Chain A
Amino acid sequence: AQSVTQLGSHVSVSEGALVLLRCNYSSSVPPYLFWYVQYPNQGLQLLLKYTSAATLVKGINGFEAEFKKSETSFHLTKPSAHMSDAAEYFCAVTEGGNNRLAFGKGNQVVVIP
């Protein structure tokens, strides 16, 4: 069963506009949630994580995400897109035991000048 759903494989945003990437999860227990970013030809870097503390989580490079239990969501936002934000973004959730992370299919973000 898919634990993480990311809609829209490709997302285009104008430079200076809001970046909004949606992530919904399915979990029977309170999850740990993560957003990772992958720049071209590189590995994944942790953007931010939710681990049952504050529901609004701030990460690197001006990104933030809000955990909403009632909506089973963990959407990622950035108020103003920059050209350097062009990358692929993955939402991930803890799954089962043994520290396994399940990843969504990713959003490829293109920033239009």
Chain B
Amino acid sequence: NAGVTQTPKFQVLKTGQSMTLQCAQDMNHEYMSWYRQDPGMGLRLIHYSVGAGITDQGEVPNGYNVSRSTTEDFPLRLLSAAPSQTSVYFCASSYSANANYGYTFGSGTRLTVV
């Protein structure tokens, strides 16, 4: 049981480049979300999805796009990377809309934009 898998683990981008952070879960979770973690800021919600074909914005969505074509996958796209997007990104999933189950987190992607 792999849980939540994020790839890549590390990435360096140049300003203006685009890339996709991958997130996949094998637990048949309906709810998936992306957070960024910055020192002293905790985790801030970027985008989330309550099921295939349904996405919504979180607290800090600017500069990021998402889509959810399958239950398993929830990729995060950076359209034109900026140094302010240097961060650690976490994907999380949950069994259902019932928060009682909490979240399962991936191990993170550390992104540096130069």
- Chain A contacts for B106, CB-based, 8 A: 43
Give the shortest distance, in Å, between A76 (CB) and chain B (any CB). 15
A14-22, A61-69, A78-86, A98-106 - interface stretch? A98-106
- Among B90, B96, B98, the residue within 8 A (CB) of A43 is B90
- Per the 8 Å Cβ criterion, residues 31-56 of B in contact with A are 31, 33, 35, 40-45, 48, 50, 56
How far does the Cβ of A28 sit from chain B's closest Cβ, in whole Å? 15
Contact string against B for A residues 35-75, beta-carbon threshold 8 Å, 1 for contact and 0 otherwise:
01000001111100101000000000000000000000000
A contact residues, total (Cβ < 8 Å): 23
A25: interface (CB < 8 Å): no
Q: Chain B residues with Cβ under 8 A from A6's Cβ?
A: 42
Cα–Cα, bound, A101→B48 (Å): 11
- Residues of chain B contacted by A36 (CB below 8 angstroms): 105
Check if A46 sits within 8 Å of B102, measured CB to CB: yes
Q: Determine whether B65 belongs to the interface, using a CB cutoff of 8 Å to chain A.
A: no
CB neighbours (8 Å) of A49 from chain B are: 100, 102
Other than the known A36-B105, A43-B4, A43-B108, what 11 A-B pairs have Cβ atoms closer than 8 Å?
A42-B107, A44-B103, A46-B102, A51-B99, A51-B100, A98-B48, A99-B31, A99-B50, A99-B94, A103-B44, A104-B42
User: Could you show 6 A-B contacts with beta carbons less than 8 Å apart?
Assistant: A32-B99, A94-B99, A98-B50, A100-B33, A100-B58, A103-B42
Smallest CB-CB A-B distances: 3 pairs: A43-B105, A105-B42, A103-B43
